[in-house]
Amino acid sequence: MNRRMAVDPVYRCIECNEESGELYKDYKHGVLKITICKSCLKPVDKYIEYDPVIILINAMLCKAQVYRHVLFNTSINIHGKLCIFCLLCEAYTRWLQLPGSSSITDPGDIIRYAKEWDFYRLFGIALLEQSVYLSGIFTVLSLARLKTLRSRSDFALLLKALLLSSYGKLFLVPAIIWEHDYTHLCLKLITLFVLMSNTQAIRVTLNVSRKLSFLSILGGLLFENALFYIQQKFQDV
Ligand SMILES: [Zn+2]
């Protein structure tokens, strides 16, 4: 069972978001019973018994219950590493799309070319765009004056949720390596999937409406496009 060991842990019911003091009761001698939520009368977190693969498939279907399970009822702490890995995938995808890079067929060349200046420049741009995108989201949500977004830990949890829910960017690399007629469409669909996943993460973390969650993502995209426009202006000068 995937569980968080802490003093006075506060978990959340994955169905109704109600707080719960425990996920299961231990009756000793290996007898465990999943806690039932007092509010909705459903298991607080059925996913503690599920296989990680099933959880991942449910996450890919953007189910709010899985997001609550991961964010509130587990101690997964890979968002920092995942963020860097996603940025590397993004930079590598963009680098491959540069003129002259597509002719590389030898996998051994990847390491050699990764050392090129262009790759690091694109990584820097991806990092900057990601920061600006997140700033846009936080700005919109701050303007909404949410009760659930007041303390530093609320911001930290939202940041963690956004970084974790951007895992779809990992699919960018296989999509572009296995090049075919629909590669461009695949890249667009991956971007759309990441945006949907981010929207769901905001909704679940802050318990806000779909509308506000969608608006904050729109704010993030607006900030990111403004940065792109400024970049273009600088290149033209
Ligand atoms: Zn409940």
Question: Which pLDDT tens digit goes with each residue over 55-104?
Answer: 999 999 999 999 999 999 998 889 999 999 999 999 988 888 877 665 55
Q: Is 196 exposed, middle or buried (0-12, 13-18, 19+ CB in 10 A)?
A: middle
Last residue of a domain, one of 54, 73, 92: 73
If asked whether residues 34 and 109 sit together in one domain, one would say no
Q: Does the residue 2 lie in any domain? A: no
How far away, in angstroms, is 46 Cα from ligand 1 center? 11
Band (pLDDT 50/70/90 cuts) for residue 8 is low
Q: Does the residue 168 lie in any domain? A: yes
How far away, in angstroms, is 17 Cα from ligand 1 center? 6
How far away, in angstroms, is 36 Cα from ligand 1 center? 8
- What pLDDT is attached to residue 5? 45
Domain that holds residue 54: 11-73
How far away, in angstroms, is 163 Cα from ligand 1 center? 26
Q: Does the residue 1 lie in any domain? A: no
Contact between 122 and 95 under an 8 Å Cβ cutoff? The reply is yes
Question: Which residue type does 6 have?
Answer: A
How far away, in angstroms, is 20 Cα from ligand 1 center? 9
Q: The tokens of 186 are what? A: 């695949």
CA dihedral defined by 37, 42, 47, 53, rounded to 10 degrees? -160
If asked whether residues 32 and 147 sit together in one domain, one would say no
How far away, in angstroms, is 19 Cα from ligand 1 center? 8
Higher pLDDT, 209 or 237: 209
How far away, in angstroms, is 9 Cα from ligand 1 center? 17
Band (pLDDT 50/70/90 cuts) for residue 107 is low
If asked whether residues 17 and 98 sit together in one domain, one would say no
Higher pLDDT, 3 or 56: 56
Q: Does the residue 143 lie in any domain? A: yes
- What pLDDT is attached to residue 235? 75
If asked whether residues 199 and 88 sit together in one domain, one would say yes
How far away, in angstroms, is 13 Cα from ligand 1 center? 5
Last residue of a domain, one of 73, 104, 125: 73
How far away, in angstroms, is 32 Cα from ligand 1 center? 19
Phi and psi, residue 22, nearest 5°: -155, 160
If asked whether residues 223 and 145 sit together in one domain, one would say yes
If asked whether residues 43 and 123 sit together in one domain, one would say no
How far away, in angstroms, is 12 Cα from ligand 1 center? 8
Q: Where are the beta strands (DSSP E) in 21-101?
A: 24-26, 32-34
Band (pLDDT 50/70/90 cuts) for residue 6 is very low
Q: The tokens of 43 are what? A: 């298991």
If asked whether residues 83 and 146 sit together in one domain, one would say yes
How far away, in angstroms, is 150 Cα from ligand 1 center? 24
Closest CA to 86 of 8, 148, 164: 164
Distance CA 216, CA 223 (A): 11
Q: What is the pLDDT of residues 127-162, one digit of tens each?
A: 999 999 999 999 999 998 877 777 888 889 999 999
How far away, in angstroms, is 43 Cα from ligand 1 center? 7
